[in-house]
Amino acid sequence: MNILLKSTKIVCPENRELHLKKRDILIKKGIIEKIAASIDPPSNTKLVDLKNLHVSLGWLDTGVSFGEPGHEERETISHGLHVAGKSGFTDIVLYSSTSPVPDTSSDVVFLKERGQGKATSLYPLGTLTKNSEGNDLAELFDMKNAGAVAYYDFKQQISNPNLLKIALQYAQNFGGLVFSFPQEGSIKGIGVAHEGVVSTTLGLKGIPALAEELQIARDLFILEYTGGKLHIPTISTAESVKLIANAKKKGLDVTCSVAVHNLVFTDESLQDFDTNYKVSPPLRTQKEIKALIKGLKDGTIDYITTDHIPMDVEEKRVEFDNAADGTLGLESAFGALNPLFGVEETVALLTKGHERFGIQSPSLEEGQKACLTLFDPETEYTFGMGDILSTSKNSMFLGAPLKGKVYGIINNSHILI
């Protein structure tokens, strides 16, 4: 199929000749055939002429959960990739949050095969340890050969420092990337909310910022000793930003991410005990948000993730202490980030990270594969239940004012709008 994008504003700082220019873009068999001020549509061409159409390179999300295998009622891989595409993401890194967890090469192959033939490309994580139990390393090398882009015991600390040391040393043999979740479990204890005025007032057990910062400090000391590649997902405190900034100044190979919701909401949102606001790491304070945004702007924080985690209503419609952690994030991501950073910086943040995960970076040039996100950055609206495309509905963004609507993507010779 031929596709012609009409009068689209290109947001692509990497291409100075086209950045912020209005152009027609002709795509043939998944390849960008021509970019020009005006193109007459050839025969058998799908014309895309949408209100205030903007286009950028495809977006990458470095942390997404679905459910399959084991929790298909939350979200299947097929439908989850459809949601990701409609939310603007051409590539997603899939968390190792399934049941059973992907700790062998055959598990990784299954995930890759389930993601084949979709507009959005799926890149799975394998677990770091067998069964994510934190005792013995999983089949890291075999999983890499099967297509795993990194290793992560989903939302679980690596409690044994020697295990992290060995993992970082071993993974260097094949360029493996190790994730370490930033939360010290003994200090977190049975906490369910940020430790502070709000948790005390509401009578909720607190999670100190120290639980995150102590784990990060330990991990960075180990990384300095071993070398290797470390990624710290979903940081949430100001001190964490400082620790990672200092590590980068030392030349350590460390990257980190922050979840969209930790840039938007504070623990004040817990006043009504709405379990959609229960996430890990927890929502913190405005002071932390300010430091996280600053960390993104100066490059200390490398990536933004939606940290999209679908959950059944039964897992959320319980007492706050007993509710599962997690919120949806794909559908609301662009509309939440756009008011914070503006369209150019938001796009820059959402297109980062391909090289870190061994994913080929797209290019917006004639002759290159079409890997594009289509959107309107100006539409303002209140995020409602009708905006949720996921099977599960546990979004903390319900009722939030957003700016920017995503039309869809063109990728892998598919158009999804």
Cα(191)–Cα(204) distance, integer angstroms: 7
Among the listed residues 103, 94, 49, the one whose alpha carbon sits nearest the alpha carbon of residue 76: 94
Cα(229)–Cα(218) distance, integer angstroms: 15
Q: How far is CA 324 from CA 260, 267, 316, in A?
A: 19, 17, 6
Strand partners, 36: 24
Tally the C-alpha atoms within 13 A of residue 407's C-alpha that lie toward its C-beta. 22
Cα(330)–Cα(133) distance, integer angstroms: 29
272 catalytic per annotation: no
Q: Which two three-digit tokens encode residue 165?
A: 């040391």
C-beta separation of 205 from 190 below 8 A: yes
Q: How far is CA 257 from CA 26, 94, 101, 158, 333, in A?
A: 35, 15, 22, 18, 14
Contacts of 34-43 with CB under 8 Å at 24 or more apart are 34/366, 35/365, 35/366, 39/4, 41/2, 41/4, 42/2, 42/4
Say if strands 54-57 and 45-48 run parallel, antiparallel, or are unpaired. Answer: unpaired
Cα(188)–Cα(261) distance, integer angstroms: 20
Tally the C-alpha atoms within 13 A of residue 304's C-alpha that lie toward its C-beta. 30
CA torsion angle for 342, 347, 348, 351 (degrees, to 10)?
160
From the list 107, 302, 307, 376, the catalytic residue is 307
Residue with tokens 């430790």: 195
Which residues have a catalytic role annotated? Answer: 307
